[in-house]
Amino acid sequence: MLLTMDMGNTNITVGVFEKDALLFEARLMTDHARTGDEYAVLLHNILRLHDVEPSAFEGAVICSVVPSLDNALQRAVLSVTGCTPLFVGPGTRTGVNIRLDDPAQLGADLLVGAVAAIARYGAPCAVWDLGTATTVSVVGRDGSFLGGVILPGVVTSYDALSTRTSLLPHVRLQTPPRVIGRNTNDSMRSGAVFGTAAIVDGVTDRIEKEIGCPVKVIITGGLGREIAGQCLHPNVYDNELLLEGLRLIWEKNLRTPAEKNE
């Protein structure tokens, strides 16, 4: 079995694979105050909840955008599974040519998503990850990582809007019945859902114009399903994209040719 963990600014997504099949997915809150021992307890309880024996793991791989928690998570994984996790970063074999001014600046999550998108959907493509931040990873015709776009996340933006205005409430972000809201809550939901969908469509059109060809649009992340259904541009929603990318990267780095052919 393989343990995969995607550590974002809000949540840590945990996935367990048996060969190439994802057995389950779970989430932990990203908490800077937690120690390695506390994360170990939470991880152990998740595995017990899903009847997975910690000693069954042959490897672990982590994608992190929270460097301050890397050591704690590494200790937790080693303590529970006995495996030293592979952290995706500079020097990790991915098979993707990174065409950035400084490849070391590329976020691990963006690279992992691109690896999975190429494998599952082919190139060229644009991967929209709608999480704490909204990020776009652009892959060219030849499978090279060309660059991307970074925007404030949907929830992040609307939390700021509610916090910094006196009359606007915190609302649950879901698709309203119409674009033109007839009350404050629906008006805010319209801006979040339809407004973000319009951003996806508009920026994707500009990306296609810039690289000179159509791209496959893959949407993932917390609010991805809600937004994907409202986009005019053809797209696919893939909630397992980053976990699959982690599995593929682990295979490229640690599996032998004989193991890959099993």
Residue 195 corresponds to which amino acid? G
Question: How confident is the model at residue 171, as a pLDDT?
Answer: 84
67: DSSP letter: G
Buried-exposed string 189-198: b where 16+ CB fall within 10 A, e elsewhere: bbbbbbbbbb
pLDDT-based confidence at residue 261 (cuts at 50, 70, 90): very low
pLDDT at position 155 over 90:
no
Q: Is the pLDDT of residue 254 over 80?
A: no
* pLDDT at residue 121 is higher than 60: yes
Q: Are 3 and 81 in contact (CB under 8 A)?
A: yes
Q: What is this structure's pTM?
A: 0.90
Full set of structural domains in the chain with CATH: 2-87 (3.30.420.40), 103-244 (3.30.420.40)
> Which whole number is the average pLDDT over 242-254?
95
The mean per-residue pLDDT over the stretch 76-104 comes to 94
pLDDT band at 255 (very low <50, low <70, confident <90, very high): low
Best CA proximity match to 225, nearest among 118, 128, 121: 128
Q: Of 6, 109, 186, 238, which one is the catalytic site residue?
A: 109
**Omega of the bond leading into 152 within 30 degrees of 0 (cis):** no
Active site residue 142: no
Q: Of 8-12, 128-132, 160-164, 226-230, where does mean pLDDT reach its minimum?
A: 160-164
Residue-wise pLDDT tens digits, 58-82:
999 999 999 999 999 999 999 999 9
42-62 pLDDT per residue, tens: 999 999 999 999 999 999 999
8 A C-beta contact, residue 77 and residue 83: yes
The rounded percent of the chain whose pLDDT value lies above 70 is: 97
Higher pLDDT, 88 or 222: 88
Q: Does 260 have pLDDT greater than 70?
A: no
- Average pLDDT of the chain to the nearest whole number: 93
Tokens of 21: 């099949």
